[in-house]
Structure 1
């Protein structure tokens, strides 16, 4: 790792997060967080990659235990509910890839999370070929769990997104921040990054960045994720599957290939 010293999307059916967050998806998340990523890693230890959480608490279970206790029909139902989380909205500034791609990866991240930064810098660029060939769509969602600066960073990225530069701003911000601890994100840094990536209307950017509407959108999306039981970042839904932490590139490629085959 090298040393270091991017219009608000619609939210679809407003009742959907509540429906998904109760019952089936809650069970699915318990299953996925404790087990699914281990089985996808083909025996690789979950400690090989990390997710950060304000509570710094994790639980794991063995694949063998899961196979004995998870009913196949219930697992299928859980996977169906997970697949419904994809928004697939045209002109979503916080998404990239074809709206009809066979696989949608939903990423929940916090800009002050060091492992989110690792994913953004080291893994995300290597998934670009799958976006380019129409296989993969990525939909980013905020999970601002590390305080006011996390909310501010997310608001800044959304403000840049209103001018078509969400991903550019995100990339530049992640590359500026250190991949350790939970670095500060202050106004001067936000404005500097916006200038760096070429935001054309800086007055509009600053107004959107500071607006209560933008920050409320960040907080609402964070609350939506937490209602589903997600409290560590990064966290991903890939098709019908879930994975926690900045896993190796090969893990993402494997799951995407499996989900593409399932969708065909």
Structure 2
């Protein structure tokens, strides 16, 4: 009905490797493969070990998905990718997000994995505030 907009940001909370992975997903998005890369990066809902988050491993994952590896590596390490990461990190900090998963509903953070009812209540409350 157009009452809800969903956005996703890649926030790195585990240090340099997480930042590199966030920039890799950004690079995959430049080739219109954001979700395929994201899903492959977190296959089975698991975090990859640090040893699989170096440049070569991330480029190889992109190549496995049919991405242009030269363009991918260039985009992943570009000024634009670094600036995007810094912007998202600053935005997250400014609204109180310091861990993942985190959800902002109607301007209010909802942190951590929560029962469905928490989300339903938060969305209903935000819609009621928006309509008044």
1:236 corresponding residue in structure 2: 103
**TM-score for both structures, normalised by structure 2:** 0.78
Question: In the comparison of the two structures, how many residue pairs are matched?
Answer: 128
Unaligned segments of structure 1, at least 5 residues: 1-99, 105-137
Contact map agreement 2:25 2:38 (CA 8 A) in 1: yes
> Does residue 149 of structure 1 match 2:17?
yes
1:60-209 residue pairs with structure 2 within 5 A?
A: 101-104=2-5, 138-175=6-43, 178-179=46-47, 183-184=49-50, 185-199=53-67, 201-209=68-76
Higher helix content, 1 or 2: 2
Unaligned segments of structure 2, at least 5 residues: none
> Does residue 210 of structure 1 match 2:77?
yes
**What's the secondary structure of 1:139's corresponding residue?**
coil
| Separation in 1, partners of 2:97, 2:127 | 27
| Separation in 2, partners of 1:192, 1:177 | 20
Q: Render the CA deviation track for 1:114-134: whole Å, top value 9, x for unaligned.
A: xxxxxxxxxxxxxxxxxxxxx
**Residue 260 of structure 1: how far off its partner (Å):** 8.0
| Separation in 2, partners of 1:256, 1:103 | 12
**Residue 233 of structure 1: how far off its partner (Å):** 1.8
| Separation in 2, partners of 1:101, 1:231 | 29
| Separation in 2, partners of 1:238, 1:154 | 22
Q: Render the CA deviation track for 1:102-125: whole Å, top value 9, x for unaligned.
A: 112xxxxxxxxxxxxxxxxxxxxx
**TM-score for both structures, normalised by structure 1:** 0.42
Bigger Rg over Cα: 1
Contact map agreement 2:102 2:111 (CA 8 A) in 1: yes
